[in-house]
Structure 1
Amino acid sequence: MPIVYSFGTSCLSPIDNSTVFLIGGRTWIANTNSYLNTSSVYKFNSKTSQWTTPTINNFNSNFTSRSEIQAVIDNNGKIFIFGGDNFVDPTTTPIFNYYKDMNILDITTMTWSTQTQSQSVLPDFAYTATLLPNGLIVYIGGASGSITGIISNNMSQIQVFDTNFYTWSTKVMYIIDIIYDNNYTKFFCKYMFLFSLLVVLQ
């Protein structure tokens, strides 16, 4: 049966460099409006071109069909997925549920764990996530959602998750003023952005 898939995330296993994990996302039956609330984790073996649905211990049922997320995976085989949203129904209020939890899948044991975050500044969905060599995940952009609406996150605030200690911190990207061709312009300087990332790396 052909399936339409969108808004999920994927990552390649560093253990065997051949298994791809497809995580979250929304699925529909092709050419219909039938929404499927199916499994949220699939494995693809790139050597045999076979898809399987893995058995996961302690899976968080609230994560089913989580979408607009970005996963990162460390060298030990731990996948980190923060937040996301979940399409409910176009006739309900709210249409989406929004989350601020950190979900972790250890692919060496296929064990799932979830940490609930309380920081209001954290993005819920549609962010970018980058894992740095020192174990820090840098989250930039995104938006926060609630029953009252959606708010874009402040691009000058970079949220950082430490995978070593499971703690959050915020790095601020500064605004500078320049004069160019006699036109006064205020903008986010790319050099200050790079400086902020260097601070994160320390």
Structure 2
Amino acid sequence: MSKNFLVYFLLLILLQVLVDVNCQLTPFKPSGLFFHTATFVDNKLYILGDDTPDGKLVNEFFYLDASIPFNTKELSWQDLSSINIVPIHSSATSAKGGANNDTLFLYGGFSRDPTMELVYTFDPQHIVWNAQKITGINAKYKLTGVMSYNGKFYLWGGITRSGITSNSIIVNEMLILDTINLNWGTGSSANAPTPRYHFGATLLPNNKIIYIGGTDNLTNTADALSLKEVYTYDTINDNWESNITKGKIPSNRYGFSTMLSLDSQRVIIYGGEFDDDPGYVDSTLYVLDLTNFNWYIPKITGNIPKPRKFHKANVISRYMVITFGSLLSGIFLSVGGFFLHKWNKKRQSQNNINNYNNYGQEEKEIPTESDYEQAINNEQNIIQINDNDDATNYEPTNDHHGQEIILTSNESMIIPANDHHEQTHKNEFTTNHEPIIPESVNNNYNDERFSLQTFKDEMLQAVKQENQNLRNEILQVVKENYNNTKNNTG
């Protein structure tokens, strides 16, 4: 009897191991999020969750590894929620900074947890969060922080953190966090824009930060500010200036995404909430030419994604990646939804690096998942875009030789259109919140990585099959032992 008990005990242990392995193989499914943060560090896009469609705050922390191929039908989110020490909160801001420009900095946010600190840092190398005890500054939320090239985190505007709306104050102060020395400073408020929140902001190559739109009303959230006038803050000289825009000026809005183009001469905005009409929606992509402050709408092919607000935008290689958000139709963006806008660098037969009056954009509709499936026998879900538009070998990459990462959803993806503008892209490593430092690339890296991923996929399939076989064998052994025990007892 003791022998049978030992057999059963060992079988139970094996079953538990199988359960643990299967749990690890089950992909993580994030909640639909908005008011979240999205930070791109070391080829990983880290998402720290906030509000969900049912109005609850969540404490999810996960990432997508953009350095390796992945299945576009089911994004391989990696869950790190178990190591997250940041209290449940909403509407914080984040950026990449620190001495080596490889640390995620999180500032502010709205939380009812009195233990929440002003600043948290996440170390991707050691996969650990740390609370930074930096005092003397008020916490704010619903702002867009911008990291400068020298590691200073500029935190303008927003709302002072309070759990009661009547005690909240919209501000136009400029706080500056030195992410290298971990100390606070302040910037000038002379000639600064009026207090506001939910505005757009991005760092320009001349060390200026541009601020666009937003809202200045706590009681009427549909009271959006005009985009006719934009503001820039000079981080070197600590002063403000404003510029009047022209052209196809977008409607008043807030809660939209702002992105610097790869040539650093244009700002691209998408989405947001408007005050034109309660039922008004706008999925148009708008571009602001920084050389003359002229707004225009690029020609776009394909189906534009549904309009949304409170999403986040990051640059991954040559792609504008928009994550999650709240749809204006009342339905929230589903898990894994991405909208990608790819800047395609035109081949130049002549040197026109300094020709800032003309810009070049190449228009092409990126196929949907179904198109790729038809092209590659309904099996391959790894995508590659080459400089040669006729290429049919699909694999995402993280180098800067024309092979790019593509994340797909059920919504179409687009590339900016050819128009009367023409420009060689100079800065291909700029994000909306932090500069990306390019890494050296081995020419054979892509082929090696593709082979490695193929090997990983085969190994994963083999492990799953072995798990199933082992499960069947264990159940068979249990059944036989049970029958033998029953027969011996009888």
- Provide the TM-score with structure 2 as the length reference: 0.32
Question: Contact conserved, 2:207 with 2:235, CA < 8 A, in 1?
Answer: yes
The counterpart of 1:173, out of the listed 241, 245, 252, is 245
**What amino acid does structure 2 have at the position aligned with 1:3?**
P
> Residues 21-170 of structure 1: matches in 2 within 5 Å?
21-28=105-112, 35-36=113-114, 38-56=116-134, 59-61=135-137, 63-64=138-139, 66-90=140-164, 94-115=166-187, 117=189, 119=191, 121-145=193-217, 151-170=223-242
Alpha-carbon separation, structure 2, partners of 1:22 and 1:49 = 15
Alpha-carbon separation, structure 1, partners of 2:217 and 2:90 = 19
Residue in 1 aligned with 2:88? 4
Alpha-carbon separation, structure 2, partners of 1:37 and 1:49 = 22
Q: Among the aligned pairs, what percent are the same residue?
A: 25
Deviations 1:39-80 (A, max 9, x none): 111010011111111243xx443x22x100111112211110
**What amino acid does structure 1 have at the position aligned with 2:158?**
G
SS at match of 1:97: coil
Alpha-carbon separation, structure 2, partners of 1:166 and 1:115 = 6
Q: How much does 1:122 deviate?
A: 3.2
**What amino acid does structure 2 have at the position aligned with 1:85?**
I
Q: How much does 1:99 deviate?
A: 1.1
Alpha-carbon separation, structure 2, partners of 1:111 and 1:11 = 16
Alpha-carbon separation, structure 1, partners of 2:89 and 2:163 = 17
**What amino acid does structure 2 have at the position aligned with 1:161?**
Y
Moved over 6 A (4+): none
Closer/same/farther in 2, CA of residues 116 and 158 from structure 1, 3 Å limit: same
Closer/same/farther in 2, CA of residues 46 and 132 from structure 1, 3 Å limit: same
Q: Which 5+ residue runs of structure 2 have no aligned equivalent?
A: 1-84, 250-284, 294-355, 357-490
Question: Contact conserved, 2:87 with 2:116, CA < 8 A, in 1?
Answer: no
Closer/same/farther in 2, CA of residues 158 and 123 from structure 1, 3 Å limit: farther
Alpha-carbon separation, structure 2, partners of 1:199 and 1:136 = 16
SS at match of 1:6: coil
Question: Contact conserved, 2:159 with 2:168, CA < 8 A, in 1?
Answer: yes
Alpha-carbon separation, structure 1, partners of 2:248 and 2:147 = 35
Question: Contact conserved, 1:161 with 1:169, CA < 8 A, in 2?
Answer: yes
**What amino acid does structure 1 have at the position aligned with 2:143?**
I
- Provide the TM-score with structure 1 as the length reference: 0.73
Question: Contact conserved, 2:213 with 2:225, CA < 8 A, in 1?
Answer: yes
Alpha-carbon separation, structure 2, partners of 1:44 and 1:2 = 10
**What amino acid does structure 2 have at the position aligned with 1:47?**
Q
Alpha-carbon separation, structure 2, partners of 1:104 and 1:160 = 16
Question: Contact conserved, 1:123 with 1:142, CA < 8 A, in 2?
Answer: no
Residue in 2 aligned with 1:31? none
Aligned pairs, how many? 175
Deviations 1:93-120 (A, max 9, x none): x242111100001122111012352547
Q: How much does 1:17 deviate?
A: 3.4
CA RMSD of aligned residues (A): 3.0
Closer/same/farther in 2, CA of residues 119 and 152 from structure 1, 3 Å limit: farther
Structure with the largest fraction of helix: 2
